[in-house]
Structure 1
Amino acid sequence: MRFEISIARDGNQTLNVNGIHIYSKYKPKDHAASFIEKELDLDAEGYLLLGLGLGYHLKAITKRIRNKKIYILCVDKQEEKIFEKSYIYEEIIKMSNIIIIYDPKDIKMNNNFQVIIPNAWLQVLNNEHPLFNFLADIKIKQESYSGQKNLLAENFRNNLLLNDQNIINYLSNTKVGNKLACLVASGPSLNETKNWLKKVRSQLYIFCVGSALKVLLEEDIEPDGVVISDPKMNIVQQLEGTDYSGILFYLSTANHIAISRYKHTKYILFQNGYKRAEELAARHNIPLVETGGSVATTGFSTLELLGFDKVILFGQDLGFKESYTHASFSTSGRRISTKENLLKIISNNEEEIYTTPNLHSYLKWFNLKIRNSNIKVYNTALNGASISNADFINENEFYNLVNLTK
């Protein structure tokens, strides 16, 4: 990387990396302080800051935070030498709560730490940089959370007032036996594989995401359970207009209106990573689900809590060969423009397909989750993303697996 220190209009040092201004050319310290003022969550337990540079963002944090741990993730080995040339180096380097690192593996933080990513540093990293995907995933989740913080809190508060049962009640009331669990998402491959479920329906536990419910009902396939997680109002359409009266699992921060309108049996799920849910679950010894950022990842974590040791993924494409992201009749389908910022990945058919940054984030979650899980996972999406440690199976192999599990 090419680092260039220059003098800004106000006489302070400023920094340019690979032609990108990390701070303002006019008032760099004020620019950094203004960014931190808007971003900083004073209630966080600690912080991870991307980029050391001249230390201006770090200085702005230390003005308001004294004793909490602050990790600074450098993007290049040169950064510490650049920082040593900063006017504020001597003042900052003595603070014992500051930890400068170069590898995310050295970070020891929980979900109550705040990650602060100045956009300029993210622009410096190209797709080949080892930190790019790690940080892009965090940025996606961070922007999603910050934009919906009030909505999440409102939904959580109203959903608790419903006094619904939780997953402990479901486990005590339900015997899932040795059935295979099928997690049904609404990727394009579901158009081809949904009929597989019909022939052996009685031997399966079918758990589907909300956006796939209408796809299954069109085929007269009633799932054993449906899971929804989206905090926004558009989730209402996933249940509206159906005659589904089965079990509904919902994330504690899912849209309250959609939840309250459903008049049949419901179970609330408390999620890891949302502080209010974690606190309530801890008080009542309720197990937490990992959300992974999507309803399908939430569904997988729920099946894990239910005790299944084999899960077959349907419609979990996490990418697309053509231009449609979801199956026909799905409430989440859309057509992708070729102008969008798409990534290329390898499919189960060993061909290149496209994926979006969000879907790629969920793919990486599945890769890591399955690797560290005792669940044996199978994947039916021929033209969907190849998921690590999830064996692709065709229709005949699916039926053989079902028969073996009788």
Structure 2
Amino acid sequence: PVLYFYGFGNGILYKILLKNTHLKHLIVFEDDISLLYEIFHLIDFREELRNNKLIILQSDVLSKDLENIFTTPPFFNFLRVYSLHLHSVYYEIFQDKIIKLNNKISQIIKTTILYQGNDIEDALQGFTQFIFNSPKMILNPSLDSLYQTRKKKSKTAIIVSTGPSLDKQLLVLKKYQNKATIFCADSAYSILAKYDIKPDYVLMSERTEKTADLFKNSYKNIDEGIIFVLLALAHPKAIKYLEDSKRNYILIPYPSLFVKKCMLEDFGNFPSGSTVALNALKLAYTLEHKSIIFIGQDLAYSQDGTSHSKDYMYGSNYESSIKQESALAYGGKGEVKTHCMWNAFRLSIENFIYKNTKNCKFYNATEGGARIEGTIEKPFLECCLNLLNDNDKKFTQPKILDTDKQNELLLNIDENLYE
């Protein structure tokens, strides 16, 4: 039902192919606009274009636009049989463009499929842990309560990840920590504590015990007032560590039909689960910050091959042995080494930014790693000097549901689980 071609030629081939009733869409990449202008004078493609049976794109089409196509049926359903055909031998003279385009499409297809999950045992572990954690979720504040108490309470958010470049930003972050809301990846939590930097939110999106151990240690110098935001499929040990040290937390259900049936909308449905940085981005955006700044978001290896900040709990070479591929470097000049999951994370962040530039400005102040399209690249200190003026963090704690509502939801979950 879907075919892909490079080169429009004289158009006759596509006019004939589109007579096949089984062919729903034909995507043609053509960079010569003047050629199309001439062909459309000779052959009428109005109906095919109007019905999206014929889709014409240039080879430098944005990755976000291709991603939107590939996540839509029937394109999505037939990604495994994707092949880019040449209209004719003539188009081999454009081999550099064709190879570059095909590599871009292949990466986006890989990412799109990875979004669906790649391990049934992992999925079942997450669902099992969600069931186990659901009473804890109900007995703690909801995401909706967090929104009600904290929307528009701060203008600027800083999202802290644990890429190799984080080390050079910590002293600036410490100086300006009271002038912005700090969203911290679970992996960066212990690093910030070491430098006496207090985040406002610490997020966790993974379900493994190894990730849970990132919360094993508590830190009296920063913990008071932090809200730990976990997906409800997190490992139960993470919750135990938080409760043992009396740290505040909320649990957010991973979006699913089951969650909808249990009437858990108040507890949230924003997380993708693909990357903690994306979940932090979505939370910061939903809380209506006007500026969002990334630091430590390398999504690439450093020049010396390290994958994480030097103070990362599991070591700076934690992911250095994974098979590498290339990505455009921060600043747009040259390439850096990355791996397929980081590429997938980067594309998901880019796609979110692409859809939400109207109400917010996004800054990449990582000063290293891979370029994140759609962000404004600026040094971190410059971002702080231009965007952070006043101490604007006046937060109150979100409230838990009343007992009757808690009991209603718990019974509802129990009933749906039994069913």
Q: TM-score range by the shorter chain?
A: 0.5 to 0.7
Deviations 1:86-140 (A, max 9, x none): xxxxxxx999xx9666576556759xx996765x869x99774253122110233
Partner of 2:114: 140
Structure 2 distance, partners of 1:166, 1:361, is 29
Matched, 1:234 2:210: yes
Contact kept, 8 Å, 2:151 with 2:287, in 1: the verdict is no
Equivalence map 1:265-304=2 (5 Å): 265-272=248-255, 274-280=256-262, 284-291=265-272, 293-304=274-285
Partner of 2:369: 384
Matched, 1:203 2:186: no
Contact kept, 8 Å, 2:295 with 2:380, in 1: the verdict is no
Matched, 1:397 2:382: yes
Contact kept, 8 Å, 1:345 with 1:385, in 2: the verdict is yes
TM-score of the aligned structures, taking structure 2 as reference length: 0.65
Structure 2 distance, partners of 1:234, 1:336, is 14
Distance apart, 1:191 and its partner CA: 0.6
Distance apart, 1:249 and its partner CA: 0.4
Contact kept, 8 Å, 1:291 with 1:301, in 2: the verdict is no
Q: Residue 229 of structure 2 aligns to a residue in which SS?
A: strand
Structure 2 distance, partners of 1:232, 1:196, is 32
5+ residue gaps, structure 1, are 1-71, 82-92
Distance apart, 1:182 and its partner CA: 0.8
Aligned partner of 1:316: which letter? Q
Matched, 1:156 2:130: yes
Partner of 2:229: 249
Distance apart, 1:190 and its partner CA: 0.6
Q: Residue 329 of structure 1 aligns to a residue in which SS?
A: coil
Structure 2 distance, partners of 1:360, 1:395, is 23
Q: Residue 266 of structure 1 aligns to a residue in which SS?
A: strand
Structure 1 distance, partners of 2:70, 2:175, is 49
Contact kept, 8 Å, 2:70 with 2:76, in 1: the verdict is no
Structure 1 distance, partners of 2:385, 2:217, is 36
Contact kept, 8 Å, 1:153 with 1:253, in 2: the verdict is yes
Q: Residue 311 of structure 1 aligns to a residue in which SS?
A: strand
Distance apart, 1:286 and its partner CA: 5.0
Partner of 2:403: none
Aligned partner of 1:226: which letter? V
Matched, 1:325 2:296: no
Partner of 2:297: 316
Q: Residue 337 of structure 2 aligns to a residue in which SS?
A: strand
Equivalence map 1:152-191=2 (5 Å): 152-162=126-136, 163=138, 164-174=140-150, 177-191=153-167
Structure 1 distance, partners of 2:172, 2:296, is 12
Distance apart, 1:232 and its partner CA: 1.1
Contact kept, 8 Å, 1:248 with 1:266, in 2: the verdict is yes
Q: Percent identity?
A: 17
Structure 1 distance, partners of 2:76, 2:131, is 23
Larger % of helix: which?
A: 2
The one of 82, 97, 105 equivalent to 1:131 is: 105
Structure 1 distance, partners of 2:125, 2:69, is 33
Deviations 1:345-374 (A, max 9, x none): 222373421111111111112222112212
Distance apart, 1:334 and its partner CA: 2.7
Contact kept, 8 Å, 1:349 with 1:382, in 2: the verdict is no
Structure 1 distance, partners of 2:212, 2:232, is 15
Q: Residue 350 of structure 1 aligns to a residue in which SS?
A: coil
Aligned partner of 1:188: which letter? P
Structure 2 distance, partners of 1:73, 1:259, is 47
Deviations 1:2-34 (A, max 9, x none): xxxxxxxxxxxxxxxxxxxxxxxxxxxxxxxxx
Structure 2 distance, partners of 1:178, 1:107, is 36
Distance apart, 1:381 and its partner CA: 1.2
Contact kept, 8 Å, 1:126 with 1:132, in 2: the verdict is no
Structure 2 distance, partners of 1:197, 1:253, is 31
Matched, 1:366 2:360: no
Structure 2 distance, partners of 1:402, 1:316, is 19
Distance apart, 1:278 and its partner CA: 4.5
Aligned residues: 316
Contact kept, 8 Å, 1:215 with 1:328, in 2: the verdict is no
Contact kept, 8 Å, 1:228 with 1:251, in 2: the verdict is yes
Structure 2 distance, partners of 1:383, 1:178, is 27
Aligned partner of 1:180: which letter? T
Pick closer, same or farther for the CA change 1:207–1:108 going to 2, 3 Å: closer
Structure 1 distance, partners of 2:143, 2:168, is 32
Partner of 2:242: 262
Partner of 2:191: 215
Distance apart, 1:147 and its partner CA: 4.1
Contact kept, 8 Å, 1:271 with 1:278, in 2: the verdict is no
TM-score of the aligned structures, taking structure 1 as reference length: 0.67
Cα RMSD (Å):
3.5
Q: Residue 211 of structure 1 aligns to a residue in which SS?
A: helix
Larger % of strand: which?
A: 1
Pick closer, same or farther for the CA change 1:147–1:393 going to 2, 3 Å: same
